[in-house]
Structure 1
């Protein structure tokens, strides 16, 4: 009887092992055949999604594209961290916070600077006339987003410490509501939310990023996906670059296309479109150094728990890897 029971147990374990192996194989096959992209309400990925050229190109490689929208960069990178997406785009700061939290990500490419597409805003009737007057005031921002660094640098420029203000951490929709109610004194925000507030609420700009920050947009991928599918990543960046070039050549057409996707007027959308940087490129030493400075700044402020090495999380395109290997 014991022998029969033992045999049954061994058979059950064998079946379970086979089932587990099949499940793992199926999951691997699915990851090989699907590219999951995270995007935000605005940016080149929105244009790429609308164009549909990526889907056509990757279909030739047997890869399906799935899109997921996120309210901001920190939320998108959390999606990368937990494995719900493979690729996405954010501003400068979210990758720093994500790397500090242990996310296994790689910087893939970046867009040219767009320093005017983020700003510190105040209400049209606010008595505040300068960043220096934010001392002791409540300032709304999305923690860990691109505007977080803008705020730090603007305060520094004005002779203030980060501890001199009261940061109120809110995602864009909640921050706008608080801004409209007057429950915060200022709002640090990016386009198209910035353009919408300027036009709809007549919000005033205390400081944008001009001559202060680059406000690069970064394309990032999970390390496993980028390493296992370099040709897919390369094709994706080529398509992003092509859409960017089209956008630079005809911003009016982009405005027509994007306005209904954003649910904003053409006037507001046109402002945001013209302030954006276009022309995705793989990372240069200069951009890596600039990003390292941001990471060092947040480490010094104790807003992240440790120092980081940005160079350790830079993806190398296949062509560049071949050249390096040959040398």
Structure 2
């Protein structure tokens, strides 16, 4: 009888494990990607094989659009710049930063561009001008920092809030004088439209990105997110060592011209996952403070509460 009872327990445990395995395999992570970046790097690096869940990819043209989807529950997680993340969090979005990333190229992938024939040749020349930017975007944040460096206030210019496609059209039409944006849009403007970089983020931006996740996904899919973030961190390490191969996949997957993809990867530099720690928090307090000083965020929330370090182990190789 005891032998039969033990056998019954083994059979039951095996059945339970099999059931759990099926449930895990049936789990879906809804991952957002901006212009293919996250999907491209993970597929190029080959890190998704054997993942115990399915991934449903969604593509977005900007962090703002991605964060709106995250806020609305349409996606579970996605990669965004720190400035748009903080802007969305301050607006009440139920999200957290679950992985931080830092680029070693000092913010070169974000820039203010002007037409080649523009008389604007210095930051001081921006006074009285119309400048396009996405509200709360990393371009908007760079613009605020650049104005401050030149001794200008946001009120010294007219900031026109536009999505990337509309901003580029406005710059081409001459209805704005400059555009604060990021790659691959800057790359396209420089390489294909012959616009000029007035200033980029070197020496101005901390160049932090975040994989952001909804509170619902963090609570309900924590183990799967942890596994995904580990794979993503591995993919970015691979991309840092194989920029050419990453650019090739980025171009193929997004339809970006290869020269634009190569420029984008080069300007970003080595982009690696790092722990969410006191240094990251200090950088984000600076972002929130700058937006507050500019009147973009009226009542800044607690930055510490926006950062979830419970996934930090996923950064470890």
TM-score tier, shorter chain, comes to 0.7 to 0.9
Equivalent residue number for residue 204 of structure 1:
196
Q: 1:83 Cα shift?
A: 0.7
Matching residue within 130, 140, 146 for 2:132: 140
Gaps of 5+ in 1: 1-28, 321-327
- Aligned residue pairs, count: 288
Counterparts of 1:318 and 1:280 in 2: how far apart (Å)?
A: 11
> Counterparts of 2:72 and 2:166 in 1: how far apart (Å)?
24
1:52 Cα offset (Å):
6.0
Structure 2 spans left out of the alignment, 5+ residues: 1-22
Task: Specify the alignment match of 1:47 in structure 2.
Answer: 41
Q: How far apart in 2 are the matches of 1:318 and 1:197?
A: 37
Q: Distance in 1 between matches of 2:138 and 2:207?
A: 7
SS in structure 2 at match of 1:283: coil
> When you count strand as a share of all residues, which structure comes out higher?
2
Displacement of 1:318 in angstroms is 5.8
Q: Which has the higher contact order (CA 8 A, sep 6+)?
A: 2
Q: Which protein shows a greater Rg?
A: 1
* TM-score, reference length from structure 2: 0.85
* Matched residue SS, 2:79: strand
Aligned Cα root-mean-square deviation (Å): 2.0
Counterpart secondary structure, 1:295: helix
> How big is each residue's C-alpha offset from its partner over 1:31-55, in whole Å with a ceiling of 9 and x where there is no partner?
x82211111105344322565633x
Which shows bigger deviation, 239-248 or 41-50?
A: 41-50
Contact 2:63 2:84 in 1 (8 A): yes
| Contact 1:150-1:209 at 8 Å conserved across structures | yes
Instruction: Give 3-state SS (helix, strand or coil) of 1:217's partner.
Output: strand
Aligned match of 2:28 in 5, 26, 34?
Answer: 34
CA contact (8 A) 2:276 2:312 kept: no
Confirm or deny: 8 A CA contact 1:48 1:243 kept in the other structure.
yes
Q: Secondary structure at the match of 1:259?
A: helix
Find the partner of 2:177 among 185, 188, 210: 185
8 Å contact kept, 2:108–2:201: yes
Pick aligned residue for 2:216 from 194, 201, 224: 224
Distance in 2 separating the partners of 1:142 and 1:75: 10
Structure-2 change in CA distance of 1:47 and 1:319 (3 Å): closer
Residue by residue over 1:233-290, the C-alpha shift from the partner in whole angstroms, topping out at 9 and shown as x without a partner, is 2211111111111111111111221112232322221111112242212312101110
| Alpha-carbon separation, structure 2, partners of 1:157 and 1:109 | 30
Is residue 291 of structure 1 aligned with residue 284 of structure 2? yes
Taking the aligned partners of 1:318 and 1:75, their CA distance within structure 2 comes to 25
- Matched with 1:271 is 263
The aligned counterpart of 1:18 is: none
Q: What secondary structure, in the 3-state scheme, does the structure 1 residue paired with 2:276 have?
A: coil
Distance 1:82 1:128, change over 3 A: same
Structure-to-structure mapping, 1:112-131, within 5 angstroms: 112-113=102-103, 114=105, 115-131=107-123
1:234 is aligned to 2:226:
yes
